[in-house]
Amino acid sequence: MREFECFATHLECSATGLRYPADVPHGLSDAGKPLLVRYDLAAMRRGISREELGRRAQGGFWRYREMLPVRHSANVISLGEVVTPLVAVPAAASRYGARQLLVKDEGRLPTGSFKARGLALAVSMAKGFGVQRMAMPSNGNAGAALAAYAARAGIESWVFCPDDTPEINVREIAQAGAHVFLVNGLIDDCGRLVSAGAAKMGWFDASTLREPYRIEGKKTMGIELAEQLDWKLPDAIFYPTGGGTGLIGMWKAFAELEAIGFIDCRRPRLVAVQAAGCAPIVRAWQQGRDHAEPWRDAHTIATGIRVPGAIGDFLILRAIRESGGFAIAVDDEAIAQALAEMARLEGLSLCPEGAATYAAWRMSLAAGQVGPEERVVLFNCASGLKYPMPPAGRRIDLRRPVDFAAFAQ
């Protein structure tokens, strides 16, 4: 693979602004906050153009190499990433009197979720640093992506999941050779296990936002979306928010894209969607707080957004406020109903987290928080096929006469 220029200059503490050197492994800053990668944006502006990107047909998000921190192509770990489609859902839009509704379907990525973006970056960076063992807590999709990319990189991986994580994810993680554990707790309990065992087990902690490069991968959702819409961002983005990396990453992407002259200063409103059974960000947003109190007794069928406390809470809340957006919670019944409705209306199989964004959009539309003329993008972050579905299919007994008239009943 050819080499690309890399414009990463340093990392910066997201709370204090303190600088840290690039090209060495990092966890959190000394202040215990996430580190963000910073670039020489003036040089990036000279080094890459929209036209040049347009000529790159292959490579999925790796097409944006100059905007990413991986310096050497030899370290790129790829499983054949694709540009995920922006699927118009006109029947769903017109049902609620809206002009246009789009779904960014991240389920098409390797391992069936957007976690491929972040973990491809984290594992590629780890490979460059010579890391041999990575560990993380996961509600399923992230663990599956870590296991797959780590397998390809020849890195050992260890994944700790809540014990009700969808079975398919757990098996997928094991299939890729990771050590997978089921824990009788939630993702924050799993995270504490990783922190506690890291030194003893020689693990590099790849937890969301404790590791600085996953967010750089997630940021490519924002770049890709902008490019797909001819560098004009939508009016609003509804995003299923757990740890918030996607939201924070896209907000970072938009700032960088503006600095390099790819987009103007117009930004979409960011809408953080959470489940009513676990909505720490929504509560903090409603109370006008900068940080979110951890949510007790978290429960929802949308396991990917069952995150009681996010280390990047202040960054999520800041991005929502700066964008003029809002945070909204939807209950499990609305999620299940939205999932079924989208499948029947549009043939699109959403994951429960993605369905939560559809339910939230409908609620926001009814409440006048978004207008019917607004161009809205919903994020479906994983394939609906990775989740349990209700049993279906009527039986036919070939030993008896077939009663076709009864089929329609």
Ligand X SMILES: Cc1ncc(COP(=O)(O)O)c(C=O)c1O
- Binds ligand X by CB under 6 A, chosen from 292, 305, 360, 377: 305
What pairs with residue 137 in β-bridges? 160
Q: Give the DSSP H/E element, type plus range, for residue 320.
A: helix 313-323
Residue with tokens 């699927």: 87
Which one, of 363, 302, 381, 308, lies nearest residue 112 by Cα? 381
Q: How far apart are CA 4 and CA 133, in angstroms?
A: 27
Span interacting with ligand X, options 35-43, 220-228, 242-250, 279-287, rule CB under 6 A: 242-250
Span interacting with ligand X, options 76-84, 236-244, 317-325, 342-350, rule CB under 6 A: 236-244
Helix (H, G, I), strand (E, B) or coil at 278: strand
- In the region spanning residues 264 to 283, those forming contacts with ligand X, defined by CB under 6 A, are none
**Token representation of residue 61:** 């998000």
Q: Binding to ligand X by residue 243, rule CB under 6 A? A: yes
- In the region spanning residues 322 to 361, those forming contacts with ligand X, defined by CB under 6 A, are 351, 353
Q: How far is the CB of 305 from ligand X (least distance, A)?
A: 5
Pick 41 or 178: Cβ nearer ligand X: 178
Q: Binding to ligand X by residue 113, rule CB under 6 A? A: yes
Pick 153 or 381: Cβ nearer ligand X: 381
**Token representation of residue 217:** 């991968």
- In the region spanning residues 118 to 147, those forming contacts with ligand X, defined by CB under 6 A, are 139, 141-142
Tell me the residue nearest to ligand X as measured from the CB.
304
- Binds ligand X by CB under 6 A, chosen from 166, 212, 244, 384: 244
Q: How far apart are CA 216 and CA 129, in angstroms?
A: 17
Span interacting with ligand X, options 12-20, 38-46, 234-242, 277-285, rule CB under 6 A: 234-242
The alpha carbon of residue 52 and the mean position of all alpha carbons in its chain are separated, in whole angstroms, by: 27
Identity (one letter) of the amino acid at 378? L
Q: Binding to ligand X by residue 111, rule CB under 6 A? A: no
The burial class, CB within 10 Å (0-12 / 13-18 / 19+), for 130 is exposed
Binding residues for ligand X, rule: CB under 6 A, are 113, 139, 141-142, 208, 240-246, 304-305, 351, 353, 381-382
